[in-house]
Amino acid sequence: MDLALATVMDWLAQHMWPLTRVSSMLLSMAVLSGTTITPRIKILLAVAIIFAVSPALPAVTVEYDPISPESMLITAQQILIGVAIGFASLMVLQTFVLAGQAIAMQIGLGFASMVDPTNGQTVPVLSQFFLMLATLLFLAVDGHLLMFRFVMESFTAIPIGTSGLSTDAMWRIVNWGSIMYAAALTTMLSAIIALLLVNFAFGVMTRASPQLNIFSIGFPITMVGGLIILWLTIGGFITHFELQWGRGVTLMCEIIERQC
């Protein structure tokens, strides 16, 4: 059976460019972008998604030519869109990594570090604990399924072509960094204030009784007090995650220019 070259190119345009956008999102989104998931699994998952939803995707009107400058530009646009959608979910989880690092430094657990399997970097154990909680909540609220829905909606909102993300969407991603740091500060604020009061009490003790070796007794008391404070404040973690995940969903809606 002979196939016309135009038919083959139309089939490639309908599958290759969507595959590029979906695989770019998988390489940058929360949970699935970790080094613990092999590239083979990511590629197979992207291919399975595309073959499942390609009949429902809008028809691609641009001619597919792998070596033409226009096709290269379109491919770069698909990579940028997929990375932007996935990176939005990754910033949500990194909010709690920042909060864990700040709290760990205050209670003296900053030296207790372990390798983060997500990005291969060494982070405090408390940050890894917060990241595990945020990851479980992300999966519990079906965040990964919502990410797949967003990337499918993006093909209707931002059709495959030479036009990609708007400058407003790019600026929203950049400005969302300030929201991430503000949310991390809100998450750790109660623990930081309580630890500040503990350190203030040690300062009063040192002033009242200079004979006490504040370094020998202050470190274990601060660590135990910090763990107790974490135990008392961990109940608000779900609330902080829900608020931050809602902001992340809003950002992804703004990226694909859809009303949430």
DSSP sequence for 137-191: HHHHTTHHHHHHHHHHHHHHHS-SSS--S-HHHHHHHHHHHHHHHHHHHHHHHHH
- The yes-or-no verdict on residue 111 having pLDDT over 80 is no
Beta bridge partners of 122: 115
Query: Could you tell me the residue range of the domain that residue 177 belongs to?
Result: 5-255
260 domain-assigned:
no
pLDDT of 115: 56
- Whether the pLDDT of residue 211 is over 70: the answer is no
What secondary structure letter does DSSP report for 29? Answer: S
The SS3 assignment for 260 reads coil
- The model's pLDDT over 26-58, given as tens digits with 9 standing for 90+, comes to 888 888 877 778 888 888 888 888 888 888 887
Confidence band (pLDDT; 50, 70, 90) for 69? confident
74 domain-assigned: yes
Flag whether 95 is in a domain.
yes
125-140 helix and 143-157 helix, angle to the nearest 10 degrees: 70
Eight-state DSSP code of residue 116? -
N-terminal to C-terminal alpha carbon distance within the chain: 47
Q: List alpha helices for the chain, DSSP H.
A: 5-28, 39-53, 69-107, 125-140, 143-157, 167-208, 214-233, 237-255
- Report the alpha-carbon distance of residue 58 to residue 160 in Å, rounded: 9
Establish if 96 belongs to a structural domain.
yes
CB proximity list for 246: less than 8 A, separation 6 or greater: none
Check: CB of residue 188 under 8 Å from CB of residue 99.
yes
How confident is the model at residue 126, as a pLDDT? 81
* Residue with the two structure tokens 């209670």: 107
Residue 244, in any domain of the structure: yes
Total structural domains in the chain?
1
Q: In the prediction, which pLDDT does 1 show?
A: 45
- 165 is a domain residue: yes
| Structure confidence by residue, pLDDT tens digits, 136-173 | 999 998 888 888 888 888 888 888 876 778 788 888 88
